[in-house]
Amino acid sequence: MAIEIERKFLVRGEGWRRQARGSHYRQGYLTVDPERTVRVRVAGEKAFLTIKGKSHGMSRSEFEYPIPFDEAIEMLESLCHKPLIEKFRYQVCYRGHRWEVDEFEGDNQGLILAEIELARIDEEVELPPWADREVTDDPRYYNASLSRNPFCNWAEKEITPATKNTDRLARKE
């Protein structure tokens, strides 16, 4: 069985951008429930179908398969729940680990999250200076949750200064 072990953090500042390289992602969900999610993702010119099981802390089962690009686009447009998740995903290396930094667009604009996949649950990792509060156990930050309750709909009391990257928003306006 394929197991994903992942930690997720809010991002502060712009320090991560210096060495980042990224690509545009669009993804949608065919099904979302507490026991499983089925996702369609287009990353650059590649497309994937991903099935994920229920989260148990920072781990869950995950199965991912390449699918034809045109079929993925059709599924995103006609079968997936709206809104779709749109983001730029950046790869950033820090102290021997590859981090993925997601800068969300659309209904989730202003949210920037960093993820790191680990080989073991007890694997030690040094956090980069731009990694802020850990949100691994907060389901609001799961992409599937953001597709149902986008960041733009969050009440102000739910949004902390570390959550909303206001400096980045100011530059985009």
User: Which residues belong to the active site?
Assistant: 29
In this structure, are residues 119 and 112 in contact, taking their beta carbons and an 8 Å threshold? no
